[in-house]
């Protein structure tokens, strides 16, 4: 008789597993399990929806956990100011650098191999939509939400001899812009899913040229980087910031200054 699934793991949410075991994120990516925007689902429910054998998934998770860990900060405990800087310098910079190059490469491949690779038209157009959606999204994070989170953390952590003003926002409290940003994240993941489908799971055609093989590998890297990026925001940064903001002492001192301007989705 085969052993039963450990209930403690099966009933944990994808977010809980990703936070406790960062190596699980790559396992989920490989299996097509969305731990970014569906982090509240239990592992059992996610496996059932994806028609995956949960015992095989647990084996993959255990194997990943046994690999030597990379020396990365524990972002669930590191200062949020440092996490914001990490997201901007690593993930936002990566998108601004790589997306235009990928779009240009896709255009070139479409013009040279479009007849043999008709899927390239879908890849190119989806990359362009992804870039368009990200331009405003990254700007809202960098100019509005991240600065507020940094100011919030500094204010809450102020000492008796350091006078730090309670931050004011243009959106009231964090849950509203966080919900909008997470909605953007869901749309971004939809774009990635379409690119994954068009590219046949990032598999280059047989006898493809060196440029084409490199392009498909870079698409795979884009997928991995974006999923890690969204995990850091959806599952760590935003929940920590909302929890800090809703602390009783902060809400009471901030409520009187709740202001006015809309933080709207594009």
Give the model's pLDDT for residue 141: 95
Q: Which of 57-61, 166-170, 192-196, 208-212 has the highest mean pLDDT?
A: 192-196
Residue 242 has which token pair? 């909302």
Instruction: Write phi, then psi, for 13 (nearest 5 degrees).
Output: -75, 160
d(CA 28, CA 47): 10
Give the model's pLDDT for residue 58: 86
The model's pLDDT over 117-171, given as tens digits with 9 standing for 90+, comes to: 788 899 999 999 999 999 999 999 999 999 999 888 888 876 444 565 667 777 7
d(CA 8, CA 65): 16
The model's pLDDT over 84-127, given as tens digits with 9 standing for 90+, comes to: 999 998 899 899 999 999 999 999 998 887 677 788 899 999 99
Residue in the block written with tokens 């299996």: 31
Q: DSSP assignment of 189-220, as one string? A: HHHHHHHHHHTTTT-PPTT--HHHHHHHHHHH
Region of 200 please: left (phi>0), alpha (psi -120 to 50) or beta.
Answer: left
pTM beyond 0.75: the answer is no
Q: Cβ–Cβ contacts within 10 Å for residue 251, how many?
A: 12
Query: How deeply is 142 buried, as exposed, middle or buried, from its count of CB atoms within 10 A (0-12, 13-18, 19+)?
Result: middle
Eight-state DSSP code of residue 19:
H
The model's pLDDT over 40-76, given as tens digits with 9 standing for 90+, comes to: 889 999 988 887 878 878 878 888 888 776 667 789 9
Give the domains, in start order, of the chain with CATH numbers.
Answer: 7-66 (1.10.3910), 80-257 (no CATH)
What is the mean predicted confidence (pLDDT) over 1-19?
71
């Amino acid at each position: 008789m085969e052993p039963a699934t450990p209930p403690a793991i099966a009933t944990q949410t994808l977010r809980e597993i990703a936070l406790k075991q960062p190596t699980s994120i790559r396992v989920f990516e490989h299996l097509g399990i969305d731990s970014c925007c569906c982090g509240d689902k239990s592992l059992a429910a996610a496996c059932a929806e994806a028609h995956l054998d949960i015992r095989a998934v647990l084996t993959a998770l255990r194997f990943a956990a046994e690999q030597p860990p990379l020396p990365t900060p524990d972002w669930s405990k590191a200062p949020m100011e440092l996490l914001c800087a990490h997201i901007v310098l690593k993930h936002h910079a990566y998108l601004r650098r790589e997306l235009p190059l990928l779009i240009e490469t896709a255009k070139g491949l479409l013009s040279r191999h479009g007849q043999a690779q008709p899927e390239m038209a879908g890849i190119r157009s989806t990359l362009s939509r992804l870039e368009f959606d990200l331009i405003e999204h990254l700007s809202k994070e960098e100019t509005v939400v991240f600065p507020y989170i940094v100011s919030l953390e500094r204010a809450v952590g102020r000492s008796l001899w350091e006078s730090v003003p309670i931050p004011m926002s243009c959106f009231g409290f964090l849950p509203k812009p966080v919900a909008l940003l997470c909605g953007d994240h869901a749309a971004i993941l939809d774009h990635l899913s379409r690119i994954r489908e068009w590219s046949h799971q990032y598999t280059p055609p047989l006898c493809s040229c060196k440029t084409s093989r490199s392009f498909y590998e870079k698409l795979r890297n884009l997928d991995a980087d974006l999923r890690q990026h969204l995990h850091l925001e959806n599952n760590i940064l935003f929940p920590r910031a909302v929890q800090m903001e809703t602390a009783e002492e902060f809400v009471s001192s901030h409520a009187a200054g709740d202001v006015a301007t809309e933080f709207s989705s594009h």
